[in-house]
Structure formats: C-alpha cells, structure tokens
A and B are shown apart, each in its own frame.
Chain A
C-alpha cells in the first residue's frame, strides 16, 4: 500500500524581551539558579500577573508578518496541571481567542512553492526547570525560566514529508529572527519544535491517528525523528495493528521515538479564563504602529532581488536566509549597482564559505560590505583578475592594511597589467624567444598558442589581463 504522511508542527518561540511575560524579572540566559525568579514567578500568595506590552507587540508583529487576524479582545486562560516546576499549579496560556489567528507561511521545497496554513499563535508563560541530578533522592528546581514569554505557533496538518516539515521550521525560524521577535537560539531552547505525525492510505481524505513527537531541538533531529515515526506507524498498520494517540519523545542517541504518555492517562487541563487577567484589547492604532515597525519581509525581498537585480530564485532565497545576510548583500550592491550578480556570487561563495569554516555569523564578518564592493569593483574594472581577488580577499580577512583593497593590491604588486603598450612589448620579446612555437601555431597547432599565452602570464606573474593577452597575441600572429 502507498502511504501518505501528514505532519503539523507546534513551535514554541521564546520572545526576545528584557523581562518576563507577567513579572519584571529578567529573562537573560545563564544566570545562577533562582536569581531571576521573583514573587510572581514563585507564585507566592497574593501576587498578581501584569502583562508585558513588549510581549504583545511581538505577537502582533508575527501576526502581521503571516497575514493573520489579530484578535481583540484576546483572552488568557489557565491550563491546570501539577508539576514542581510550575508553582502556581497552572500555566497561564490562551485557549479561546488567541492573539493571532490564521495566517500562512509560504515555503519553497525543491524549487516548488507551497503554502502552509497556520491555525493560531498564542501567548503563554514557560515553566521552570527540574534538575534530576540526585540531591539525596530529591529533585532540584530552578525557576529562572518560569514566566519566560513564549509564542506557540501552531500549523495546520499541511506538510506531507519530513523534508517539508524541516523547510517549514527553517522558514519560520528565519522569519521570527527576521522580524526580531525571537533570537532563534535552538541550543538555549529559544525555538522548540514538536511534530504531530500521522499516516494514511494515499488518496484517503481522513486523517490517521497522530502521535506528537517532542524534543526536536535541531532540524536534523526533526527530520530523523519524523522519518523514524513514520516507519514505526506504517509497520504497525501493515501488520494489521492500530496506532495509539500518544506523546512520544525522540532520543537522538538511539534515533528512535518512545512513548512518554498515552492519551488515556493524558491530562485533562481544565482550561478556563484566568480571572487575574482582564481581556486584552488591541487597538487598530496599535496594530498600525506595529506595522510601521515591521521590516520588509523575506518573501518581498526575494521577489525584489529577482526583479530588480535579475537574480535567480535560488540566489534570492540563499541571500534572504537571514536579514543580516540580505542587508550585507544590499549594502554591497548599493556601492556597485551594476554588479549585483557578482556581489551575490561572492557573498554566497567566498564570504559564506569562510564564515562557515570559522563558525562565525555574518554580523561578525571581518570584511564589511563596502570593502567587499571595493574589491569587486577592482575585478570589474580589470585592475585584478578574479583569481587574484581571492588572494586579496584572504588578506582583507586577516585585516591587512586595515582591509584597504587598493593598499593590499599595491603592496602585493598584484595590479593587473592592462597597459596594451606594455603587454605588446612583452609579447614581442616572447615571440622572438619562442620562434618554434610561433612556427607550430602558424602550421595549425592550437596548443602552441596556449603555450605562448602561458609564457606571457608567467613573465608577468599572472598579472597580465588574459583577455587582452589573447587579443594582442592573435593580432601579432595573424
């Protein structure tokens, strides 16, 4: 039987505020345990939550970026369960009327565009952390993370392969960073993904029973976990069994998913509106203000790069992977408007390659876009060849001559010889010294011509303009 895979993703994006969603404690990562947990986070008696404006603003930004409806009023609800890292006994989340409803994300899978619909995005607080290291048979609780603002972004079950799920997650990851609402740091848990996976016979319009996979904290794990889970479910179904709805945890060391809790014993969260929080009103005026703060979105930039700079879809996509990369590209092109393709090639090639190799971000690139544009300018005005430019690029990377392109070219004596008088003189000398090759060429041996070009390049240590050498040599020999 042919099976169709159905995937929906839930992503928890930690919002990049200074303070928590309902208290004035800091959310800075890596502080000593419980030094950033105040009365509200500890749920001491008598405390009340006060909503952070910056949190709402980021949710609005996201909603606008995905073309969703911004609900007003929006309601906060209590999700009730007991766990020691949740001192209140409930998590403040949203159930009915989340801030963001609907919207969609366009993704590009193997050059084909696909639209993934979003169900909703709601605000909630994170829980604390349990440390299961043995404290004389007890568990240690750190509540620094309790109350950290999260935006839970829920997609519709619109993805049909692990590859699509990964592209969706990457596109979403790029978007939240692009609009500056989340730092996207997956190691620190700022962007956490859960996948709802099910399979059904191809052509069926009913969904199969789904399992939720947790702990997908890298894109690579996500792909592997989904693939494992799909195989597991298909095997069960092909053996005549049934898939039970449950939550499963991915174990990257064993590359398998295993049952965490099944639906039967799952919590009934008994959601109800939180009486401590009034309905959140979001005015048109506020939405309009936030809209003005929104940068040009990746999709709009991609389209502009294709139309204004004549780049391929692929180039446009690579360059808009992050806003920093896109800004770098645009700053370079601003200096060298006629050479957008050259700028794109160098940023995707040399610059990205070097950044990857050294494991640094483009914001820490030792060469700035203006310096890069100057280098590329020297290629396009024939001062140096492309090959030499790579040599100069190395020197710039190391910070030689303060990254001054012309000073490096001068200092290394790399300046291409484009003075035709000088090249002609040199060619004359070489033709005299190599009369045999001249004769060979004239008798029809093409190889002899290449050898003569080689002699000229050697004599100038590669600095002669190759196109010019070819032209002059042909003239002399004809």
Chain B
C-alpha cells in the first residue's frame, strides 16, 4: 500500500493538524518509510502467532463500583480560560 499526498492531507485534517505543503511532503516521506517497514513485517508468516492487543502481557485491573471522587469543580475551573454558571465556556459549536 502506498500513501498519497492527499492521504496525508486528509489524515492531518482529521487530526486537526495544520500543515503547509512542505510539511505535508515531509510527512509523506516519513510515513512512507514507516509503511515500508510495516510491509516488511507483514511479509513474515505469523499464522501460528496469536494476535496481541497490547505490548505488555498483563490483563486489565478492575476497580470496585464505588464513588471515590468528591466535587472539586472550583479547583478545576481555576485554570479554565472562561467559566460561567459552573460551565466551561468554549467557542460556539455549530453542527
């Protein structure tokens, strides 16, 4: 699989990363190298290997269903740019 310039632009767009043409070309070159590496890895026969979903061989630890957090709104909102009526204010969202 080869990556096109437009793919890079689209991925950057989806990730909200602003790129100029030069940066996008640079990213294309770097990402293509990564793709080449992936291709090499995919050429290895792994049919006998169980897929791994995490690098560490550990399982998820669970917590009991109890409320352990108290209201710290005041503290959290001290560092927020703008708050009102207990709400965090953000630039208007238009769907």
Contacts and interface: CB of A to CB of B under 8 A. Distances in A.
B60 interface: yes
Given A268-B14, A279-B54, A24 B82 contact: no
A53 B92 contact: no
Contacts of B15: 80
Given A25-B67, A38-B69, A135 B84 contact: yes
Interface stretch (A15-23, A59-67, A341-349, A403-411): A15-23
Contacts of A96: 53
Interface string A71-112: 001010000101110000000000011000000000000000
Interface in B5-41: 14-16
B61 A50 contact: yes
Contacts of B65: 17-19, 52-55
A288 interface: no
Interface string B42-80: 000000000001111011111111111101110011000
Given A141-B90, A260-B95, A273 B53 contact: yes
Interface size class of A (residues with CB under 8 A): 35 or more
A23 B69 contact: yes
Given A140-B87, A141-B87, A279 B93 contact: no
B67 A35 contact: no
Given A24-B69, A273-B54, A278-B56, A82 B86 contact: no
Dominant secondary structure of chain A at its interface with chain B: loop
B59 A84 contact: no
Contact of B66 (A19, A84, A141): A19
B93 A84 contact: yes
Interface string A279-307: 11100000000000000000000000000
A131 interface: yes
B73 A34 contact: yes
Interface in A166-185: none
B4 to A, nearest CB: 15
A19 B72 CA distance: 16
Dominant secondary structure of chain B at its interface with chain A: loop
B70 to A, nearest CB: 9
Contacts of B61: 50-51, 278
B38 to A, nearest CB: 14
Contacts of A138: 82, 89-92
B63 A24 contact: yes
Interface in A127-164: 130-132, 135, 137-143
Contacts of A73: 53, 59
Nearest to A17: B65
Interface size class of B (residues with CB under 8 A): 35 or more
B90 A84 contact: yes
Contact of B92 (A34, A83, A137): A137
A32 B71 CA distance: 10
Contacts of A39: 76
Contacts of B67: 18-19, 24-26
B52 to A, nearest CB: 9
A56 B93 contact: no
B92 A140 contact: no
B93 A34 contact: no
A270 B14 contact: yes
A313 to B, nearest CB: 38
14 contacts: A24-B63, A25-B67, A33-B86, A37-B76, A38-B72, A42-B76, A51-B61, A54-B64, A73-B59, A80-B15, A138-B89, A139-B89, A278-B59, A281-B59
Interface of A: 17-19, 23-26, 32-39, 42, 44, 50-56, 73, 75, 80, 82-84, 96-97, 130-132, 135, 137-143, 260, 267-268, 270, 273, 275, 277-281
Given A34-B77, A139-B93, 6 more contacts: A19-B67, A34-B87, A137-B92, A278-B61, A279-B54, A279-B59
